[in-house]
Amino acid sequence: MFGIYLKRELGRRKKAALVIAMGLALGIALVITVNSVSAGMNQAQDKVLKSLYGLGTDMTVTKAQSAPKAGSSQGPSFKFGATSSSSTSQSTDRVNTQGGQALASSLVTKVGSQKGVSAAVGALTLNVTKVDGSFTQGKAKSSTTSGSSGSSQQGGPGGGGGTSSTGAPQVQGGGANFNVNSYSVAGIDVTDQTLGPLSTSKITTGKTFTTAQTNAKVAVISKSYAKTKKYKVGSTFKISSTKFTVIGIATPNSSESTIDVYVPLKQAQTLGDSKNKVTTIYVKATDSKQISTVKTTIQKNISGTTVTTSADLASTVSGSLSTASNLATSVGKWLSIAVLIAAFLVAALLTSSAVSRRVREFGTLKALGWPSRKVTRQVVGESMVNGLIGGGLGIALGLLAAYTVTAISPKLTAQLGSTSTGGGGGMGSGPGGGQGGPGQQATSNTLEIALNAPVSLTTIALAVGLAVAGGLIAGAFGGWRASRLRPADALRRVE
């Protein structure tokens, strides 16, 4: 009886049921869209942080660069030997540590022994500025001038002839033609490559380091750097007269890496004249929920260091990714809540209006012996069906909107606050720092991320719950109105 009557009444009021369902559908679709876009924003931010920190890395430990001494020169210095040849090729590499003040390698073990730390590895980041070119010596030429004697010229008979003099010599021609090339080198702990700069990349050609190559003269280079220099597996190149052999080419997993060359840590320490030194310690916590506690422990037990977590780094992300994320989090969520509330209110008002138009019907049913709870159940049942229909339409619209965003994949940029390698080793410095000219390198990490809008099962479950809630709210309001009707009063009213 209940089902037959429900089907008949919904069939009689198709337009009203469709309006209620569409109102709920729009609100639910907006909630799904905002939630999926917000999830995509979080994924994009995770990609940015992982590209800088490394997969599985929870925090980094660095040390701020000490202030330069008074009178000390911070600029680049290149020295070339003088030769007597007219044209001489010259080449030199200037290697500087990058990313703050160097830390003792022993601190890696100390950090790894702290409570809550699962693993810790050290890395040394260098900036290599290569200058090569040639000098061309100029040629000195002297000029001669001539003149004639006047009547006052003294001398014997016939002594009135012309004279000539030699001027100061002048250098003509010569000069210098030099190229400057700057690239970044990361020395990594080859015994544990799951943390650190190389963990953000995948070896697509060749192979990675073995645990036995702790001091081998081998290198893994980034795909972009290999393309620029036309290197391939087996190619050789020199850094400060040390020849390295390319054994692998790495492609970033999530975004463009700013490290060009990866070498074993000991080789990097030799190149940078930083024996037993590292610039960054990468740390993985035993429990991701205790990262802030581990950070406090490290700062307390190892003074003078700066501990940067992924949350700290996320707060420095700017650009369109940050702007869009803030809009999705604040404006988008509040807008979806407002639309959802409006949809619920419209459904409740339309259901109540429908009850008012069915006064004689409900009055007759009560006169025939229907109790108020049965009338209320009938109204709630109709509203629940409307809510489920609206939920189905809303889920379909929300999935369509999320699929459209994923198909378009709008590009967002993420940029970290600029620092300099001559300054503090705070956020944004260290491995992952950008390249600049010689001297103090400007760290500018600008990454381009494609936005996706994944829809999780949790979001679908939320949509179903909202559909049921919308139906219950509308049904409860309309059922309350219907239950208050008195048969005698209802029958006296005319539609």
Check residue 348 and give its pLDDT. 73
Q: Report d(CA 185, CA 125) in Å as an integer.
A: 6
Whether 121 contacts 192, CB under 8 Å = yes
Q: Given a cut of 70, is residue 328 above it in pLDDT?
A: no
Query: In this predicted model, which residue has the larger pLDDT, 399 or 310?
Result: 399
Range ranked top by mean pLDDT from 9-23, 24-38, 432-446: 24-38
The whole-number average pLDDT for the span 358-380 is: 73
Query: Residue 195, exposed/middle/buried by CB under 10 A (0-12, 13-18, 19+)?
Result: buried
- What is the overall mean pLDDT for the chain? 73
Q: Is the pLDDT confidence value at 219 over 70?
A: yes
pLDDT at 476 over 60: yes
pLDDT given for residue 150 in this prediction: 46
Q: Which residue has the higher pLDDT, 217 or 75?
A: 217
Closest C-alpha to 260, from 301, 227, 282: 227
- Looking up tokens 């803030």 gives 326
Tokens of 193: 């490559």
State yes or no: pLDDT of 432 exceeds 60: no
pLDDT in tens, 329-345: 555 567 667 777 777 77
* pLDDT for the residue 152: 44
User: Does the structure show a pLDDT above 50 at 52?
Assistant: yes
- pLDDT (0 to 100) of residue 147: 52
Select the highest-mean-pLDDT range: 132-141, 189-198, 484-493: 189-198
- Which range has the worst mean pLDDT, 279-288, 296-305, 463-472? 463-472
Residue 53, pLDDT > 60, answer no
- End-to-end CA, the chain: 25
Element (H, E) at 251: strand 242-252
Indicate if the pLDDT at residue 122 is higher than 60.
yes
DSSP 223: H
* Distance from C-alpha of 218 to C-alpha of 199, rounded to nearest angstrom: 18
Q: What pLDDT was estimated at residue 45?
A: 66
Q: Is the pLDDT of residue 218 over 90?
A: yes
Give residue 443's pLDDT: 42
Q: How far is CA 193 from CA 204, 227, 246, in A?
A: 16, 24, 17
pLDDT at 160 over 70: no
More confident site: 9 or 33: 33
Q: Which residue has the higher pLDDT, 458 or 214?
A: 214
163 pLDDT above the threshold of 60 = no
Tokens of 106: 């022993």
Rounded distance, CA 48 to CA 42, Å? 10
Parse the chain into domains and list their residue ranges: 2-51+320-410+451-492, 90-131+179-303
| Better pLDDT: 289 or 317 | 289
Residue 375 has pLDDT above 70, yes or no: yes
Of 9-13, 191-195, 247-251, the range with the highest mean pLDDT is: 247-251
Contacts of 260 (CB under 8 A, 6+ apart): 183, 184, 185, 221, 222, 224, 225, 435
Please state, for a pLDDT cut of 70, what percent of the chain lies above it: 61
Q: Does position 316 have pLDDT exceeding 60, yes or no?
A: no
Q: What is the model's pLDDT at position 392?
A: 87
| Residue 155 pLDDT | 47
CA 384 – CA 371 distance, rounded (Å):
20
Q: What is the DSSP string of 57-95?
A: --EEEE-PPPPPPTT---S--------SSSEEEEEEEEE
The bridge status of strand 144-147 relative to strand 218-222 is unpaired
Q: Two tokens at 307?
A: 């501990």
Would you place residue 156 in the very low, low, confident or very high pLDDT band (cuts 50, 70, 90)?
very low
pLDDT at 329: 59
Percent of the chain with pLDDT over 90: 17
- What pLDDT is attached to residue 56? 55
pLDDT score for 201: 85
Identify the CA nearest to 126 among candidates 180, 183, 185. 185
SS3 424: coil
Structure confidence at residue 149 as a pLDDT band (50, 70, 90): very low
Mean pLDDT of 100-112: 88
Q: Give 75 or 404, the one with higher predicted confidence.
A: 404
DSSP state of 199: G
The average pLDDT across 251-257 equals 66
The residue ranking higher by pLDDT, 403 or 451, is 403
Summarize pLDDT for 377-421 with one digit per residue, the tens: 777 777 788 788 888 888 898 899 888 888 887 776 666 554 333
Out of 27-41, 301-315, 475-489, pick the least confident: 475-489
Looking at 354-358, 388-392, 441-445, which range is the least confident one?
441-445
pLDDT in tens, 175-187: 667 777 888 999 9
Predicted confidence (pLDDT) at residue 265 exceeds the cutoff of 70: yes
* Dihedral angle sign, alpha carbons of residues 70, 76, 80, 82: negative
